[in-house]
């Protein structure tokens, strides 16, 4: 963990009257952040690299309630516990100084993930508006969202939009004049909650809540190390690290995973209460269960092993043994009857088999993406 590991302006402690950064658009990749940014700002846009990185940030301006405010488009982020440079820049932008308002942009077709990100903003206690974009595609798929119910669950304004048609943009503008910090909070397993209680008095003053900072530190977010070092005395840092190590021993999975699990569980619960689907679009419960268990860090392993074994059986035993045996026999016969060289017959037959397998694979992938 080196000092250079942070891109946050560590030398500049937060002054209470510091100018706010304006309106910051955040969300997963490809949810329509840039389209909304365009709808809000028009054509006067500056693109620059975020200090110390090659990540590009677009800045423009808009007028809200007669006041000109900056609007910032950020790179896509699945979470504010960064795993990539893009995610880190977005997290740093949120932490460097308070925003006038955050716009959490989400894909209405992917409500679980949208809500999971919103819950992190609730945790950080940043004032925001949740924008459910791509409502056109959601409707086409028969997904209906009770956005008023979602708004009261989260405690913030929720605005459905179709950014490319500028639908909902006036409503978004009006919600942005009075953004709120969310009211509902993720409950973590008791051990985690206890660790949060012990760490919150030790984290620095910030416009981001102490609870969120405590969770970032507990999740082992090393990109925050420099920021913490610049603000927390050595003794307190050692105390924080002790709590973290103790908590690590309470779980088999990494703490980051434990924290994410709790967030997603709550996001799914909320989504299930506010979303309605046409019957044919509902996924089979077995499919949902398989989805979850196959990506689990522990239970995923036997599934992977079983899948590899099946592939081995298919390719090694059935493919090499049975098929090629038959191919060789067929090729031998053809060679005898028509004088075609055996390698040609085998090559053509192998190509046909590969094409069939590729088509099967493509069909399976397309089905999963749907
Ligand atoms: N159908 C539909 N497409 C959209 C909508 N908003 C954005 N898009 C498209 O989705 C893609 C990703 O949008 P973009 O703004 O680049 O997403 P970003 O990665 O979040 O900045 C682009 O092809 C957009 O034209 C929307 O509301 N409905
Ligand atoms: Mg973009």
pLDDT tens, position by position, 178-232: 999 999 999 999 999 999 999 999 999 999 999 999 999 999 888 898 899 999 9
Of the candidates 227, 221, 223, 228, which has an alpha carbon nearest to the alpha carbon of residue 256? 221
Is residue 105 within 8 A of residue 135, CB to CB? The reply is no
Q: Is 68 in the same domain as 157?
A: yes
Cα separation of 128 and 35, whole Å?
Answer: 18
pLDDT at 282: 57
DSSP tag of 163: G
In a domain, 209, yes or no: yes
Average pLDDT on 238-244 reads: 95
Q: Is 136 in the same domain as 29?
A: yes
Q: Which ligand is nearest to the CA of 56?
A: 2
Average pLDDT on 236-243 reads: 95
Is residue 336 within 8 A of residue 322, CB to CB? The reply is no
Q: Is 216 in the same domain as 110?
A: no
Of the candidates 137, 184, 146, 203, which has an alpha carbon nearest to the alpha carbon of residue 164? 137
Does ligand 1 come within 6 angstroms of the Cβ of 239?
no
Cα separation of 228 and 237, whole Å?
Answer: 8
In a domain, 81, yes or no: yes
pLDDT digits (tens, 9 = 90+) for 302-354: 888 888 888 888 877 777 777 667 767 766 676 677 677 777 877 887 888 88
Q: Is 195 in the same domain as 319?
A: no
The token pair at 312 is 């081995």
In the chain, the percentage of residues whose pLDDT exceeds 70 is 88
Q: 25, 27, 29, 30: which to mutate for ligand 1, most atoms within 8 A of CB?
A: 30
Nearest C-alpha to atom 3 of ligand 1 is from which residue? 134
pLDDT at 4: 37
Cα separation of 352 and 115, whole Å?
Answer: 46
Of the candidates 122, 125, 177, 131, which has an alpha carbon nearest to the alpha carbon of residue 154? 122
Among 64-78, 110-124, 129-143, 271-285, where is mean pLDDT lowest? 271-285
Q: 24, 25, 32, 40: which to mutate for ligand 1, most atoms within 8 A of CB?
A: 32
212: CA distance to ligand 2 center in Å? Answer: 26
The CATH number for 102's domain is 3.40.50.300
Average pLDDT on 139-161 reads: 97
DSSP tag of 80: S
pTM value is 0.74
pLDDT of residue 18 exceeding 60, the answer is no
First CA to last CA distance, the chain:
41
In a domain, 9, yes or no: no
Average pLDDT, the chain: 87
In a domain, 145, yes or no: yes
Cα separation of 71 and 24, whole Å?
Answer: 6
pLDDT of residue 281 exceeding 70, the answer is no
Q: Is 24 in the same domain as 154?
A: yes
The token pair at 26 is 């955040």
Average pLDDT on 8-24 reads: 57
Domain boundary among 235, 250, 265: 250
Give 203's contacts (C-beta < 8 A, 6+ positions apart): 210, 213, 214, 217, 228, 232, 240
Q: What pLDDT band is residue 106 in, cutting at 50, 70 and 90?
A: very high
Q: Measured at the alpha carbon of residue 243, what is the angle toward residues 240 and 248, in degrees to the nearest 5? A: 125
* Count of beta carbons in the 10 Å neighbourhood of residue 299: 11
Average pLDDT on 127-154 reads: 97
The token pair at 79 is 């979470």
pLDDT of residue 36 exceeding 80, the answer is yes
Nearest C-alpha to atom 7 of ligand 1 is from which residue? 32
Cα separation of 313 and 66, whole Å?
Answer: 69
Structural domain including 229 reads 190-250
Q: Is 29 in the same domain as 121?
A: yes
Give helix then strand counts, H and E, for the chain.
Answer: 15, 9
Q: How many domains, in total, are found in the chain?
A: 3
In a domain, 260, yes or no: no
pLDDT digits (tens, 9 = 90+) for 41-97: 987 788 888 888 889 999 999 999 889 999 999 999 999 999 899 999 999 999 998
Q: Which ligand is nearest to the CA of 27?
A: 1
In a domain, 62, yes or no: yes
Cα separation of 28 and 7, whole Å?
Answer: 21
In a domain, 184, yes or no: no
Cα separation of 46 and 360, whole Å?
Answer: 47
Give 9's contacts (C-beta < 8 A, 6+ positions apart): 51, 96
Q: Is 101 in the same domain as 210?
A: no
Q: Is 43 in the same domain as 74?
A: yes
DSSP tag of 13: P
More confident residue, 79 or 361: 79
pLDDT at 360: 81
Q: Is 118 in the same domain as 169?
A: yes
Q: Is 198 in the same domain as 172?
A: no
Ligand 2 ion: residues within 5 Å (CB): 33-34
pLDDT at 356: 83
Give 48's contacts (C-beta < 8 A, 6+ positions apart): 56, 57, 59
Domain boundary among 152, 176, 200: 176
Q: For residues 118, 124, 128 and 133, what is the CA-based torsion angle, rounded to 10 degrees?
A: -20
pLDDT at 141: 94
Domain boundary among 250, 271, 286: 250
78: CA distance to ligand 1 center in Å? Answer: 16
Is residue 1 within 8 A of residue 221, CB to CB? The reply is no
SS3 (DSSP) at 63: strand
In a domain, 114, yes or no: yes
Q: Is 104 in the same domain as 203?
A: no
298: CA distance to ligand 2 center in Å? Answer: 34
pLDDT at 11: 37
Q: Is 111 in the same domain as 237?
A: no
CA distances in angstroms from 156 to 29, 130, 150, listed in the order given = 22, 7, 9
pLDDT at 367: 60
105: CA distance to ligand 1 center in Å? Answer: 11
Does ligand 1 come within 6 angstroms of the Cβ of 163?
yes
Query: Which atom of ligand 1 is least distant from the CA of 38?
Result: 15
33: CA distance to ligand 1 center in Å? Answer: 7
35: CA distance to ligand 2 center in Å? Answer: 7
Average pLDDT on 243-253 reads: 95
């Amino acid at each position: 963990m080196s000092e250079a590991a942070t891109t946050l302006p560590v030398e500049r402690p937060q002054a209470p009257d510091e100018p706010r950064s304006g309106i910051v658009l955040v969300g997963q990749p490809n949810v329509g952040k840039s389209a909304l940014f365009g709808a809000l700002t028009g054509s006067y846009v500056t693109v620059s690299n975020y200090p110390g990185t090659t990540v590009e940030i677009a800045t423009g301006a808009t007028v809200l309630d007669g006041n000109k405010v900056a609007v910032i488009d950020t790179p896509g982020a699945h979470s504010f516990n960064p795993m990539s440079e893009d995610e880190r820049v977005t997290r740093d932008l949120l932490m460097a100084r308070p925003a006038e308002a955050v716009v959490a942009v989400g894909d209405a077709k992917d409500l679980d993930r949208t809500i999971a990100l919103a819950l992190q903003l609730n945790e950080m206690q940043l004032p925001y508006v949740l924008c459910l974009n791509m409502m056109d595609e959601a409707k086409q798929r028969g997904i209906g969202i009770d956005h008023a119910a979602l708004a009261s669950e989260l405690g913030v304004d929720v605005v459905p939009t179709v950014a490319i048609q500028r639908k909902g943009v006036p409503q978004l503008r009006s919600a942005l004049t009075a953004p709120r910090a969310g009211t509902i909070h993720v409950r973590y397993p008791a051990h985690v909650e206890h660790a949060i209680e012990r760490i919150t008095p030790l984290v620095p003053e910030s416009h981001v809540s102490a609870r969120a900072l405590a969770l970032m530190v507990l999740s082992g977010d090393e990109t925050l190390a420099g920021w913490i070092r610049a603000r927390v005395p050595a003794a307190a840092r050692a105390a924080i690290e002790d709590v973290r190590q103790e908590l690590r021993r309470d779980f088999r999975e990494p703490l980051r995973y434990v924290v994410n699990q709790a967030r997603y569980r709550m996001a799914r619960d909320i989504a299930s209460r506010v979303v309605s689907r046409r019957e044919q679009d509902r996924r089979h419960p077995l499919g949902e269960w398989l989805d979850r268990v196959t990506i689990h860090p522990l239970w995923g392993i036997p599934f992977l092993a079983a899948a590899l074994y099946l592939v081995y059986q298919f390719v090694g035993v059935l493919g090499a043994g049975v098929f090629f045996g038959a191919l060789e026999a067929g090729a031998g016969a053809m060679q005898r009857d028509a004088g075609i060289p055996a390698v040609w017959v085998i090559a053509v037959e192998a190509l046909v088999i590969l094409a069939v397998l590729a088509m099967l694979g493509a069909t399976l992938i397309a089905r999963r993406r749907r």
